Amino acid sequence: MQQTETKMLPIMEAFYTVQGEGYHQGRAAYFIRLGGCDVGCVWCDVKESWDVSKFPHVSVDEIVKEADKHTARIAVVTGGEPLMHNLDALTYELKSSGFSTHIETSGAYPLSGEWDWICFSPKKFKSPLLEVAEKAQELKVIIYNQSDFEFAKQNARLINENCKKYLQPEWSRFHKVMPSIVAFVKDNPDWEISLQIHKFMDVP
């Protein structure tokens, strides 16, 4: 495949905001949310992204042109599950425009694209691939119930030694699970807590 080859990707939405989660929280970033996901998280807050047929396919050139209108040079590709699509052309063009490329993925599909930051957020509903886990800079596990702590430990065995480790409360169960998350991090200080600060700030 030619890196400069024009590609079309299903765009659910794209917007300029502040990264609300994980290592880069609080930084301005342009988000590109791709349609399509078959991971099937029961608590997903963007279930409307699952059906890829609902979204217009937009050229990579147009996607990057829109991103270029904004000041920040961080582009976050998310979903849905963005790795359902080949992202080589998108990241090539983003990098050519001076963007640092970030992705948020469950790791359920093979890695494509060239990434400066990989947020690996595995889900129980579809097993992640080792190739994604090993290259991640950030492991983020959503805590919905007590069994998710063991799931977090299991996935921590897959990552490289420099990968940051985060536990994030599922939003609808925030008050119920936060005490357990705090206790876990106090007992396991190599883990940190990620909060969805964009929801507290009421921004996208």
Provide the CATH topology of domain 8-201. TIM Barrel (3.20.20)
Report pTM.
0.93
How confident is the model at residue 3, as a pLDDT?
A: 35
Phi, psi for 21 (deg, rounded to 5) = -140, 155
- Write out 82-113 in H/E/C secondary structure: HHHCCCHHHHHHHHHCCCEEEEEECCCCCCCC
Measured CA to CA, the distance from residue 94 to residue 96 in angstroms comes to 5
Token pair 């880069």 in the structure block, residue: 24
Contact 59, 88 (CB under 8 A): no
pLDDT score of 123: 93
DSSP 3: T
Asked if 7 and 186 touch (Cβ cutoff 8 Å), the reply is no
Task: Tell whether the torsion through CA atoms of 46, 51, 52 and 54 is positive or negative.
Answer: negative
The residue extents of the domains of the chain are 8-201
Tell me which residues of the chain have a pLDDT lower than 50. 1-5
> pLDDT, tens digit, for every residue of 166-198?
999 999 999 999 999 999 999 999 999 999 988
pLDDT value at residue 125: 85
pLDDT the model gives residue 197: 87
